Chains A and B, each alone.
Chain A
Amino acid sequence: MSDLAIPTLQSEAQRERSAIGSLRLVQTACILVIALVIVSPLFMLLIASLKDDRFQILADMGSFRAFWVSNPTLSNFAEVSNLSGELAFGRYLLNSLFILGCTVGAGLIVNSMAGFVLAWGTLRGRAVVLSLVIALYVIPQESIIMPLVIMMSRAGMTDTFAVQIVPWIASPLYIFLFYQFFAQLPKELFEAAEMDGASVFRIYRSIFLPLSLPALATVSILMGIESWNQYLWPTLVTQTDHARPIAVAIATFFGQDSIYWDRAMAASVLMMIPILALYLAFQRWFVSSFVGSAVKG
């Protein structure tokens, strides 16, 4: 009886509100399911890296023990974070960090300067340079890699840090992102500083660069992820452990007959930490400026 009475008692607004409420519930449930799919493999990685018994790791997978470790140990991390020895991932980690730092640092300077001149310079042919830069964006890294390896080996640069840094500093995409960011700033900024007699470089360094934190953050994250995750290029240009990055070192696990999953897991977790820190540090700016510049519908 009362069941039948409810609809008539409910006002239109109430009914809509409860419909929205149940929609919210469904939406939240969907998000939690996606979150589970996204996170559980990463969580399993973390848990597995804390297990000591490398035979047990695979046996634990597929049961709830994949998400639980009864006696966590950092011994895998201690083992792989060495700076010398057979599984000296500490060394590769430092290599990768050095490569990332140099690439991103130089990339921010070089690409932002170019973007600035393209946006505010008076150079004749600026528009042509801009269109060329945009056109170059179409060339995939994969299709220039053959001749580039030859060039680098002729120049005697293989197996160095430089060969992993210098070719990837300048990038059409990042020049364009900086150009786009600078171009949208008000021209009064430039005019006022110019009136005061500031040079172009001065205006760039003291006024525009400090204002471009969102762009700098976005490019740092994108360049950082790109540099950190490079795989094809370093496998082709590094022959020894001297300058080899951690991605290549971890990949060598797969060549072995019996994979040391415990160490592979620990090394993988180590590899995630720096890039995660970079991402968390810049995330706030990253999302907002990526949203601003990625797709101008």
Chain B
Amino acid sequence: MTLQQPALPATAVATRPARRRDRARLYQEIGMLMPAVALLTIFLVVPFLLSFWTAMTNQPLVPRPTPVRFIGLTNFLRVFKDDLFWTSLWNVSRFTFWILPVQCGLAFASALLLHQKLPLRNFFRGLFFLPAITSMVVVCVIWGTLFQYPTGPFNQVIGFLSGGRIQPIDWLGDPDWAMFSIVLLSAWQAYGFQMIVYLAGLQGIPDELYDAARIDGANAFQRFWHVTMPGLRPTHVFVLVITTIQAFKLYTQVAILTQGGPRSSTETVVHYMVRAGFEEQKLGYASAVSVILFLIVLVIALVQRQLLRRFDV
């Protein structure tokens, strides 16, 4: 969501309010707001603040008799000294680099197609969204079979098309291919959301602009380049930012299919964090990673704000 605030609606100002009714109304409003505020505080704000504190302690997962010590930024320094952390950061960057064109490009193309007045377009909209509601675990079951080495469907098809010249690829077992395989299945799974967002953006462009362009003699390509693309600028920013943030949080596919391997080629920041916290039981250390993850996401979100401001939307 771009999180632009619509102006607060002016609430009716009662001219002769009875005091008691005012107070009753106030209590009711507080009562209606409280559950959300309380839940957000306990389950979002408190753990968020705790993560900063925990990151600066030597807290283990299982309580020990020795007291937890404050160790300042030591955890962060350790994280930065760990090559595996940098590998994980590099890997999610690679993942982002691939997923942005593949997923967003496919979503954009599908949205453009389904924006046309073609028969059955609502049916196809629903159909293209199917993978997005499919659990990542189920997606892994499906794609796990597709990726089978050496006789899986993908390898069969490639072997057939190349007349057997291209050797079977070990999609998930080859360090050169594993991350790209994760990209493919992730793009397939999540692109429906982006497509719907693009459809929304396309519907937001007024028809008059197209009519005007047509009267000026603009051909289809010119209309696309000078009307559609500028009209979609905020949508592009939104989709690219959301996809980037999602990419940096990559976890489930990797945890199920490759466990970060082979040879750390699919290790991701979140997977690294979970392993540090729950396998190596170093909670303080893992919290430091989680704080770094938050800072990365924050920077991406701030960049989005700046971009949107520049585009004057």
Q: Do the beta carbons of B199 and A291 come within 8 Å of each other?
A: yes
Q: Do the beta carbons of B200 and A294 come within 8 Å of each other?
A: yes
Q: Which B residues are CB-close (under 8 A) to A110?
A: 35-36, 39
Q: Do the beta carbons of B290 and A121 come within 8 Å of each other?
A: no
Among candidates B6, B135, B145, residue contacting A229 with C-beta atoms closer than 8 Å: B135
Besides A121-B11, A146-B273, 16 new A-B residue pairs in contact (Cβ under 8 A), listed by A number: A30-B109, A57-B145, A62-B151, A62-B155, A110-B36, A123-B26, A131-B5, A138-B298, A144-B44, A146-B54, A150-B54, A170-B43, A172-B40, A176-B1, A275-B135, A291-B203
**Contact of A66 with B by CB under 8 A:** yes
Q: Which A residues are CB-close (under 8 A) to B127?
A: 35, 38-39
Q: Which B residues are CB-close (under 8 A) to A63?
A: 156
Q: Do the beta carbons of A297 and B39 come within 8 Å of each other?
A: no
Given the known inter-chain contacts A121-B33, A294-B197, please indicate yes or no for A254 contacting B8, CB distance below 8 A: no
Distance of A114 Cα from B46 Cα, bound (Å) = 19
The interface bits of chain B over 179-220 (1 if a CB of A lies within 8 angstroms of the residue's CB, else 0) are 000000000100000001101110110000000000000000
Q: Which A residues are CB-close (under 8 A) to B155?
A: 62
The interface bits of chain A over 185-218 (1 if a CB of B lies within 8 angstroms of the residue's CB, else 0) are 0010011001000011100100000000000000
Among candidates B201, B256, B286, residue contacting A146 with C-beta atoms closer than 8 Å: B286
**Contact of A175 with B by CB under 8 A:** yes
Q: Do the beta carbons of B32 and A142 come within 8 Å of each other?
A: no
Among candidates A38, A151, A170, A254, residue contacting B188 with C-beta atoms closer than 8 Å: A38
Most buried by A among B59, B129, B134, B286: B134
Q: Do the beta carbons of B156 and A170 come within 8 Å of each other?
A: no
The interface bits of chain B over 106-128 (1 if a CB of A lies within 8 angstroms of the residue's CB, else 0) are 10011001101010000011111
Most buried by A among B130, B233, B313: B130
Q: Which B residues are CB-close (under 8 A) to A167?
A: 39, 43
| Chain A residues in the interface with B (C-beta under 8 A) | 24, 27-28, 30-31, 34-35, 37-39, 41-42, 44-45, 48, 57-59, 61-63, 66, 109-111, 113-114, 116-123, 126-127, 129-131, 133-134, 136-140, 142-151, 166-170, 172-173, 175-177, 180, 183-184, 187, 190-191, 194, 199-201, 204, 221, 225, 228-229, 231-232, 235-236, 247-248, 250-251, 253-254, 259, 261, 264-265, 268, 271-272, 275-276, 279-280, 283, 287, 290-297
Distance of A272 Cα from B232 Cα, bound (Å) = 33
Q: Do the beta carbons of A201 and B290 come within 8 Å of each other?
A: no
Given the known inter-chain contacts A144-B44, A151-B46, A272-B138, please indicate yes or no for A28 contacting B118, CB distance below 8 A: yes
Among candidates A131, A187, A254, residue contacting B9 with C-beta atoms closer than 8 Å: A187
**Which A residue's beta carbon lies closest to that of B14?**
A194
Give 5 closest A-B pairs by Cβ, nearest first. Answer: A62-B156, A114-B36, A170-B39, A147-B50, A291-B200
Q: Quote the shortest CB–CB distance from A28 to chain B (angstroms).
A: 6
SS of B interface (majority): helix
Given the known inter-chain contacts A39-B127, A63-B156, A231-B136, please indicate yes or no for A265 contacting B39, CB distance below 8 A: no
**Contact of B100 with A by CB under 8 A:** no
Q: Quote the shortest CB–CB distance from A114 to chain B (angstroms).
A: 4
The interface bits of chain B over 244-283 (1 if a CB of A lies within 8 angstroms of the residue's CB, else 0) are 0100010110011100000000000010011001100001
Q: Do the beta carbons of B3 and A176 come within 8 Å of each other?
A: yes
Distance of A44 Cα from B33 Cα, bound (Å) = 47
Q: Do the beta carbons of B138 and A122 come within 8 Å of each other?
A: no
**Contact of B175 with A by CB under 8 A:** no
Q: Do the beta carbons of B36 and A41 come within 8 Å of each other?
A: no
Given the known inter-chain contacts A122-B11, A144-B47, A254-B257, please indicate yes or no for A113 contacting B33, CB distance below 8 A: yes
28 A-B residue pairs with Cβ-Cβ distance under 8 Å, sorted by A, are A27-B116, A30-B109, A35-B124, A41-B143, A44-B153, A48-B145, A110-B35, A114-B37, A117-B32, A123-B29, A134-B3, A136-B40, A143-B293, A145-B290, A149-B277, A166-B43, A169-B39, A170-B35, A187-B11, A190-B11, A225-B132, A228-B135, A231-B136, A250-B138, A254-B140, A283-B126, A296-B2, A297-B201
Q: Which B residues are CB-close (under 8 A) to A116?
A: 32
User: Total A-B pairs in contact (CB under 8 Å)?
Assistant: 316
**Which A residue's beta carbon lies closest to that of B123?**
A35
Q: Do the beta carbons of A113 and B36 come within 8 Å of each other?
A: yes
Given the known inter-chain contacts A122-B11, A254-B257, please indicate yes or no for A143 contacting B51, CB distance below 8 A: yes
Q: Do the beta carbons of B133 and A151 come within 8 Å of each other?
A: no
Q: Do the beta carbons of B291 and A130 come within 8 Å of each other?
A: no
**Contact of B58 with A by CB under 8 A:** no
Q: Do the beta carbons of A272 and B32 come within 8 Å of each other?
A: no
**Contact of B86 with A by CB under 8 A:** no
Among candidates A27, A41, A119, A129, residue contacting B118 with C-beta atoms closer than 8 Å: A27
Distance of A196 Cα from B125 Cα, bound (Å) = 44
**Which B residue's beta carbon lies closest to that of A39?**
B127
Given the known inter-chain contacts A113-B36, A228-B135, please indicate yes or no for A268 contacting B141, CB distance below 8 A: yes
Q: Quote the shortest CB–CB distance from A227 to chain B (angstroms).
A: 11
Q: Do the beta carbons of B270 and A184 come within 8 Å of each other?
A: no
Q: Quote the shortest CB–CB distance from B138 to chain A (angstroms).
A: 4
Q: Which A residues are CB-close (under 8 A) to B36?
A: 110-111, 113-114, 170, 175
